[in-house]
Structure 1
Amino acid sequence: MFKHILLPTDGSELALHGVKLGIELAKSCGASVFALHIVPPFHSISYVAEMITATQAVYLEGAVEHAERYLADVRDLAAKAGVPCDSGHLIGDTPGEWIVQEAQRRQCDLIVMASHGRRGFDRLLLGSETQKVLQTSPVPVLVCH
């Protein structure tokens, strides 16, 4: 049925639940998975340009370390389940758009994602990024919660 499943993660417990479900589904279908984390870009306003550059470098280093940790967790879960897994991170302001683009670029035939992530009020309802993916993705989306 499915051959290549995209698993977006923000490192939250709910996202991990979606990842686990996606891995189980991949195992039952004989599919592979691709774990994706979108790193929010650095945003700052400062009157000293050198401060921004130094702060941005520190931010990106830490953000990429977090991304790699989240993705390593997914790779470990997939390995334990015997599911082929590749992973990567992108830096971008609009995770929903990047998720859809990456699913298409990697020729995924399913996106499995959590109903909401880490962002404030959106946690109470269907997450805004999940909503964007549902509205724009030509690839089927399985939303879990």
Structure 2
Amino acid sequence: MKKILVPVDFSKHSEYALEVAAKIAKQHEAGIILLHMIGISDSVLANSEIAEEAEAKYYLKLAKEKIKEFTEKEYLKDISVEAIIQNYKDFTEVNNVGQEQNCDLVVMGSHGTSGLSELFVGSNTEKVVRTSDLPVIVIKKSHDDFSIKKIVLACDLDKESIPVYMKAEAFAKLFSASLEVVYINTSGANFMGFDDVEKRMESFKKELGKEINVTFYNHHSVERGMLNYCFEHDADLLVIPTHGRKGLAHFVVGSLAENVSNHAKIPVMTIKL
């Protein structure tokens, strides 16, 4: 790991993310790219050229002052930190910056006031998750001791999840952490019997090309099942595959996201399929 991209809006939640990114960077001798998007509105840009320039300079000055404060945090000592300020208004641009800067990971804060629902329902964090080609770690609280020892990958065991497993496995090795794979078997129309479950598991392992342990966890909700499993097994990180620009609809359909509890205490990593 060489570079970590951290989008910041100067909120306490983006600082939580920066703290975690700093811990990861120190562990792996990586650098940090701070990204702040000014987001000057169209109404400002519609003003006269002189007024527009003055307004832009004002916001840029404020952003530079704030980002300077962030770069001087004590926990960033001995870490290579670069700051980028852009006039982006769309958080989908984060992926472009990550690619241009050759970053390996995005670490981003989220308010998470409704558990994981903040991740799933149109927030800026969700926009980054949905459009990022890089793995994204979502941080919702301060972590005095960010230590990853056990990672849980929740996936549907479809063959397109194989690359996600490989990335999750590589990340686990990077942290010398264990990796558990869990399939949430929901009740109702999507419930699978034991034989079907066995077939899916064997097909996944065959595509993967090696033997792994897969746990099947029965629950009425995929979201609640993921969180319950992580809680019951003391996981430090939950990994979820995403379908890129299709969002997380494979895991969250309609109002199901509203059923996610506000007890998701651990970080969540998303990896694009």
> Which category describes the TM-score, using the shorter chain as reference length?
0.7 to 0.9
Secondary structure of 2:43's counterpart equals coil
1:23 deviates by: 1.1
TM-score, normalized by length of structure 2? 0.45
CA distance in 1, matches of 2:102, 2:70: 20
Is 1:26–1:83's contact at 8 Å kept on the other side of the alignment? yes
CA distance in 1, matches of 2:69, 2:93: 21
Larger relative contact order (CA 8 Å, sep ≥ 6)? 1
CA distance in 1, matches of 2:26, 2:33: 13
Is 2:6–2:108's contact at 8 Å kept on the other side of the alignment? yes
Q: 1:56 to 1:42 in 2, by over 3 A?
A: farther
TM-score, normalized by length of structure 1? 0.80
Q: Partner of 2:61 in structure 1?
A: 65
Query: 1:43-122, aligned counterparts within 5 Å?
Result: 43-44=42-43, 52-77=48-73, 80-94=76-90, 96-116=91-111
Is it true that 1:129 corresponds to 2:128 in the alignment?
A: no
Normalized per residue, the structure richer in helix is 1
Q: Which runs of no fewer than 5 residues in structure 2 stay unpaired?
A: 141-273
Matched residues, number: 133
Q: 1:80 to 1:100 in 2, by over 3 A?
A: closer
Q: Which runs of no fewer than 5 residues in structure 1 stay unpaired?
A: 118-123
Letter in 1 for 2:2: K
- Structure number with greater Rg is 2
Q: Partner of 1:3 in structure 2?
A: 2
1:24-68 Cα distance to aligned partner (Å, 9 max, x none): 2111111001111011123228xxx7x543432232112111221
